[in-house]
Amino acid sequence: MQNNPYAKKRNATKVDNPTLVLFNKPYDVLCQFTDNSTPARATLADYLPIADVYAAGRLDRDSEGLLLLTNCGKTQHRISDPKHKMAKTYWVQVEGLISDTALAQLTKGVELKDGLTLPARAEHLTEPDIWPRTPPIRQRVDIPTSWISLTITEGRNRQVRRMTAAVGYPTLRLIRVQIGNWALGDLRPGQYQVHPLT
């Protein structure tokens, strides 16, 4: 059974030193360790000199913030599998001064092309004291921006961006700050912390 393609995957759930890595993924970094593009784009390998860890879930190239990686298949599955509905919180800068009505829509659920989103938690957020983005967002002088905190329990493709656009406020900047009980804390872009799993 050495050629069984599933054997390695099963064995990956049993490791001697299960660990979890909290990483603040910078903007414009791919959520993978390799890239075959020409020219090559920035990947996790440019920031994480840690062997045998894999991303638990994804974070789009144009999004920033908390990414969890682990060497434990069971943990990876628990974090990334949609059926576990692990809450994820984002700080979102949107175009325009978002209204209470739009926040109520986000909270109740938004109709997208792939169906109605689950109820979320959405609230106004004072502009956070965070690192500047490189490059900065495209901002129009005559259109103000505002920030919200949005917590969802799904993981649809580009869901947050599609939700804010659906209620009339396109996302300009997206930072994930929490997944379940794990928070970004004081990690700066490109920094990481390694935690043993018990």
Between CA 43 and CA 80 the distance in angstroms is 20
Q: What is the DSSP letter of 181?
A: T
| 73 token code pair | 């298949």
Cis peptide before 135 (omega within 30 of 0): yes
Block residue for tokens 């990334």: 80
User: Is 60 annotated in the active site?
Assistant: yes
Q: How many angstroms separate the CA atoms of 122 and 152, rounded?
A: 9
Q: How far is CA 139 from CA 27, 146, 158, 172, in A?
A: 17, 12, 21, 8
Distances in Å between the alpha carbon of 22 and those of 40, 74, 87, 182?
A: 24, 17, 16, 8
Q: Which of 46, 60, 62, 142 is catalytic?
A: 60
What are the distances in angstroms from CA 117 to CA 9, 52, 81, 109? 32, 34, 17, 5
Catalytic machinery residues: 60
